[in-house]
Structure 1
Amino acid sequence: MPALHIAPDVNRRTLLTGLGLSAAVLAGLPLLAACGGGGAASADSLTFGSSGSDDVPRRAGDAVVAAFKAKTGKSVTTNVVPHNDFQEKINSYLQGSPDDAFTWFAGYRMQYYAQKGLVAPVDDLWEKIGGNFSDALKTAATGADGKKYLVPNYNYPWGFFYRKSLWQERGYAEPKTFDELKTLCATMQKDGLIPIGFADKDGWPAMGTFDYLNMRLNGFQFHMDLCAHKESWDQKKVSDVFDTWKALLPYQDPAALGQTWQDAAKSLEAKKTGMYLLGAFLTQQFTDPQVLADIEFMPFPELAVEGLDSIEAPIDGFMLSKKGGQNQAARDFVEFIGTPEGQNAYRSVDTSNLATAKGADTSNYSPLNKKCADAIGSAKNVSQFFDRDALPAMASNVMIPALQSFIKDGAVDVKNLESQAKSLYAAQ
């Protein structure tokens, strides 16, 4: 059963009360806003809201905080919130008592909250650290008003990951085309493997498959225009994406709707899964150095147009809440993550992601890191991810349940998708 997803403009307490939940039950439900900083701004301290709730990103965030404190003497109180909760409740969080600084993403999801006036611009910080970033990263950090709102920390590609030793044992070769991918999947299935690791309990992972099929079939610009609703959902191009996807459904993990991406990573580690389409962050789950060294990356194969020109490579960084913009310590902290020193501190723990600042230490990049970096560097087009490129309510309230339903029974109503998209985008 799909999870309940709340539109950004719906009050959560009102909605839950409408579902018949008592005040006592409501009192026991944690709200993201309750983890916010509140209080008065200080020149020597700040609060930091982090969605890095898994072990590796949590410790990496702690390393950044420790390095910042050692450098400046300023204190940081970190409030860590489960990743999905952070994403789904960000609107109420920013309108409540948010932390001074917080983790967030580039793309439309950054621009959306900037347009709502809920975050502070950081143009003055970019005047100091702008030379550390490429033009592409500068664009990704810029709002619709031309102001900068995010300082990038890292990025990472989405693609297929697999264990080299398993493929060598079975004699598998990397598929270059979609037809070759289907043939490989059929072979893996005959060999007793789950061909494609898949997990969509949390709703968002399936968007990666949709994005790649859409870009490979219809091109990068169509992907961006569809996310912005400049293209309609009830057209053949969109139906073709789902029709093409149907060819992969028999090869994707049948337990997808009941497991998290971390669960599916365990199956890849155990060599029960042939390959896994996800972001490079999945390697955070592998604590055995031999397993980590055995992981290989492969771009999503060619299909119809653009070849391998487009890649999904989300950018994560730090932002300031409106309140945090008035706190100099918070501004200093966000600036710090845009320096090689700050990003080196993060990567000292989390080696799954790629530093974005020029001058950051890449001497410890693994062969996998280098291959991922090369894949991003050679791409002509870089997308963020559907839930970052599209309207938040469209991603959470429409696409997640639609994709989960499609995974379950292979059916999707593109006319319904278009009807909902029209209403949501018209309301902006």
Structure 2
Amino acid sequence: MSRPRTQAEYLARLVPPSVAGLNRRSLLAGAAGTGALLGTGLLAGCGGSDDDSGADAKTVSVGSNQSDPKPKDVIAKVMDGYKTSSGVTVNVNTVDHNTFQENINNYLQGKPDDVFMWFAGYRMRFFASKGLAGDVSDVWSKLNGYSDAFKKASTGDDGKQYFVPASYYPWAVFYRKSVWQQRGYQVPTTLDQLTTLSAQMKKDGLTPIAFADKDGWPAMGTFDILNLRINGYQFHVDLMAGKEAWTSDKVKKVFDTWAGLLPIHQPDSLGRTWQEAAQSLQQKKSGMYLLGLFVAQQFNADEQDDLDFFTFPEIDPSIGAKALDAPIDGYMMARKPKSEGAAKKLLEYVGSKDAANIVVKNDPSTLVANTGADTSGYTALQKKAAELVGSATEIAQFLDRDTRPDFASTVIIPAIQQFIKNPKDISGLLTSIENQKKSIFTE
């Protein structure tokens, strides 16, 4: 995947937080430039017809946010697999990941593709509740290889399924084994050990932690893990649901801790993409990088065995280090595809073990959701990632998937970027977030 973003018996626990009260406020409603993007076709699909009879249609369209070269190639191979098995051609309309995400609301209200890529959890339920996605419950009756937890992660507030999971990936701290072996570094298990290690890396001429937030979402992963480690999973879920105050001492402690860690992060992060930060790790200029498994996309095939990771260390011994982010990516159907039958046939395929096997063979940067897939081809990194997620006691989906999309996009992204720019006025920043939260969550 490109986010990137923006996800065993994880599978038994992989239930996204139950967040009630989806309201009417639209994601980025009225955002400047959205109409222009739609007008130029950057995020305009091919769907919209009321013809739902055509399971035998010869073409079907997919809106894809998998814009980086590797995941884009993997998606093409999956769709070629569908054409081979069905005779149906899939027209994949690929849009830059961030553009796709920022304009998804208007895209779905216009003429979207028959099928589109999206995320499990709150983000899926938000659009399902607004009537902007098609019910695919009958597709689920034909799927095999998914736990009840994956089905719950695909279920809307009305009890119907609107999502077919394809892959998931954990967030962790990645590093190059050769660099650590050369320097004699040891994996830290506490925050104090992490800061001591970082000080040594600085002495050795390395940037301790690669860091980027040009696109707005990567730093959310840092907030998530600090909040999970300092305040625990339930507080994190409740904060995302608008049930806890951002002005509380608990949230202030997260930002105070983060402010203390910023000097060991790569500077000037607001001008850097996640790919560029990953390349500093690949080039052995940085010692560590907190990111999703998709970081492997930036490493050559002969470097994959040199990539390793550890879960972010413990901060509070009473909370431990077992919770993590592990987002799920997959597919949804437009509310009015040009051929509902053809769209559902494609969803059956992308949810099959055959499609999952194609992903396993071609993408070392993710884990497949279908348990029927042959995962013997997983790299050592993928096997370790699956074990990490399987050992987690709680799984979060990622900040911008666990809360209201409008709150994440219009409040949290600019707030975190403001904090990175100036970490000194934490109280003022949190007061601003809380005031905006109250306005958004009470509409």
TM class, shorter-length: over 0.9
Shift in alpha-carbon separation, 1:93–1:32, aligned structure 2, 3 A: farther
Partner residue, 1:403: 416
Q: Does the Cα contact within 8 Å between 2:28 and 2:103 map onto a contact in 1? A: no
1:10 maps onto 2:10 in alignment: no
Q: Does the Cα contact within 8 Å between 1:32 and 1:89 map onto a contact in 2? A: no
Q: Partner letter of residue 83 of structure 2?
A: K
Aligned-residue offset at 1:127 = 1.2
1:281 maps onto 2:297 in alignment: no
Q: Give the distance between the partners of 1:75 and 1:145, measured in 2 at CA.
A: 33
Partner residue, 2:440: 424
Shift in alpha-carbon separation, 1:78–1:118, aligned structure 2, 3 A: same
Q: CA RMSD in A?
A: 1.9
Aligned-residue offset at 1:36 = 4.3
Q: Does the Cα contact within 8 Å between 1:101 and 1:319 map onto a contact in 2? A: yes
Aligned-residue offset at 1:349 = 2.1
Match of 1:69 among 65, 74, 83: 83
Shift in alpha-carbon separation, 1:27–1:77, aligned structure 2, 3 A: closer
Q: Give the distance between the partners of 1:221 and 1:94, measured in 2 at CA.
A: 32
Number of aligned residues? 411
Q: Give SS of 1:382's match.
A: strand
Q: Give the distance between the partners of 1:253 and 1:193, measured in 2 at CA.
A: 10
Q: Give SS of 1:203's match.
A: coil
Partner residue, 1:135: 148
TM-score normalized by the length of structure 1: 0.92
Partner residue, 1:20: none
Q: Give SS of 2:400's match.
A: helix
Partner residue, 1:241: 254
TM-score normalized by the length of structure 2: 0.89
1:110 maps onto 2:120 in alignment: no
Aligned-residue offset at 1:246 = 1.2
Q: Give the distance between the partners of 2:39 and 2:282, measured in 1 at CA.
A: 35
Q: Give the distance between the partners of 2:246 and 2:220, measured in 1 at CA.
A: 15
Partner residue, 1:290: 302
Q: Does the Cα contact within 8 Å between 2:174 and 2:307 map onto a contact in 1? A: yes
Q: Partner letter of residue 296 of structure 1?
A: D
Q: Give the distance between the partners of 1:329 and 1:87, measured in 2 at CA.
A: 25
Q: Does the Cα contact within 8 Å between 1:117 and 1:322 map onto a contact in 2? A: yes
User: Which string of whole-angstrom CA distances, capped at 9 and with x for unpartnered residues, describes residues 288-316 of structure 1?
Assistant: x2321100011011111431221110000
Partner residue, 1:357: 370
1:342 maps onto 2:355 in alignment: yes
Q: Does the Cα contact within 8 Å between 1:161 and 1:278 map onto a contact in 2? A: yes
Q: Give the distance between the partners of 2:396 and 2:42, measured in 1 at CA.
A: 28
Which residues of structure 1 form unaligned runs of 5+? 1-5, 18-22
Q: Displaced runs of 4+ in structure 1, greater than 4 A?
A: 26-32, 38-42
Match of 2:160 among 147, 150, 154: 147
User: Which string of whole-angstrom CA distances, capped at 9 and with x for unpartnered residues, describes residues 340-378 of structure 1?
Assistant: 101112233222100110110111111111110000011
Q: Give the distance between the partners of 2:127 and 2:276, measured in 1 at CA.
A: 32
Q: Does the Cα contact within 8 Å between 1:33 and 1:96 map onto a contact in 2? A: no
Aligned-residue offset at 1:69 = 0.8
Which residues of structure 2 form unaligned runs of 5+? 1-24
Shift in alpha-carbon separation, 1:16–1:71, aligned structure 2, 3 A: closer
Partner residue, 1:302: 314
